[in-house]
Structure formats: structure tokens, C-alpha cells
Chains A and B, each alone.
Chain A
Amino acid sequence: MSDADVRVQIYRDFISTGRAPSATALAETMGVAVDEIRASLERLASTRTLALQPESREILFAAPLSAVPTPYVVHARSQSFFAPCAWDAFGIIGMLKTDGSIETSCPCCGEGMSVEVRDGAPLAHTGLVHFALPARQWWDNIVFT
């Protein structure tokens, strides 16, 4: 079992269920000890391939997917996913190479917003994505970013 195998299994489970697999579930699926999975998750986090929750060390993000609820809900392939940010919300649909939709609300006023992507293009043409941090700082605090 390589770290790449674990990474691929994480995405397979995420896409098929809409939820991040736990370390225990990954161990059962892959037929290895949970300690091996946890060690692999730590290595993948150390290379910023994914991010882990601070205490449980379960998956937090496997970009563009979030394991925890966020303001960005993506519907695609008959599943619903959470995305860490607006960029990643579009990233889920791009990664799956499918039609999809994004539901969120304006962080300023709370008005609901939705964007559909069909046939490889977004249908909505209103709305702007604000990048608060310059690119070189994106990974300094990925949760804030």
C-alpha cells in the first residue's frame, strides 16, 4: 500500500458517498492496519496533498473536497459535497468533468446565490470571487485562505 493508493481511495470514497472516509474505514477498505493509514495520512498532510483535522487527525480537506460542512455546497453526480472555498467549489465540478451546481450565500449580505455549470461552462454571469491573500500566502494558513 503506497501513499498514492491511499490518496486514490480517499477520492473514490469521497466521490461515491459525498463524505470523507475515516482512517478506520480506509483501513478496512484497503485491508491494512489503521496505524498504517494514519501514518500515510500524516505523510500526505506533510506534503500538503491533503489537510487533517487538528485533534482527531481525520481528513479535513482533500482539495477540492471538504470533510466538514462549509458555506459551499456542490451538487454533482447525484451527490452533494462541501467545498472549502469558491475556487474549490468550481474545482469539484471540474474534477468530476460533469454538470453541477453550487449553492452558497454572499458573505456580505447573506443573500442566497447559486451557479450552475452545464456542458463545460457556468451559466451565471453575475458574482465575483475575491482572493483575499496574494498567491504566495495561500498555504500559510490554508483554512483561512
Chain B
Amino acid sequence: MLLFRDEEHIDRWCAHWSQPRGATLTIENVWRLAQRWYSNKMNPDWRRFTPDEAQGVLTGLELTGPFWSLR
């Protein structure tokens, strides 16, 4: 997951490296995703999300559809 200046730079990078275009998120949305994903990581009782829990985090941020499906 790479941070680019804007859409045009993503397109240029994908073309240069012959990579298919994936999905893009704004900084605000990545921040929300990161907070939810990692906020409990330093807790001694931390455990990995179950697939349903992880999918729930994505869905909670309206990241839905085939690209965001973990299965």
C-alpha cells in the first residue's frame, strides 16, 4: 500500500511497472482503517481478527465489493 500524490501519479506508476490499477483510499479513510486495525495491537490479550471480524472492519468503512473481500 503506497502513498501517492494524486490519481495521475498512481496511473503513471501502474503503467511504468505494468501493474493493474487497484483501489485507492483517501488519507482520512486509510487513517480510520489503520486505527481500527491496529488500536489493540499492544494489548497483551490481542489476537488476530477472525476472517469475519476483519471483513467487518472493512465493511464498517464501506469497503465492500469483490476487491475488499477477504475470501
Which A residues form the contact surface with B (CB < 8 A)? 4, 7-8, 11, 15, 47-49, 63-64, 72, 85-97, 102, 104, 106-109, 111, 113, 115, 117, 121-122, 124-136, 145
State which residues 10-41 of B face A: CB under 8 Å.
10, 12-14, 16, 19-20, 22-28, 30-31, 33-35, 37-39, 41
State whether B13 touches A90 (Cβ < 8 A): no
Q: Is B52 an interface residue (CB 8 A)?
A: no
Within the assembled complex, what's the spacing in Å between the Cα atoms of A60 and B37? Answer: 19
Number of interface residues of B (CB under 8 A): 42
Residues of B within 8 A of A97 (CB): 39
Within the assembled complex, what's the spacing in Å between the Cα atoms of A44 and B28? Answer: 31
State whether B30 touches A87 (Cβ < 8 A): yes
The 6 A-B pairs with the shortest beta carbon distances in the complex, nearest first, are: A90-B34, A108-B9, A91-B38, A94-B35, A86-B3, A91-B34
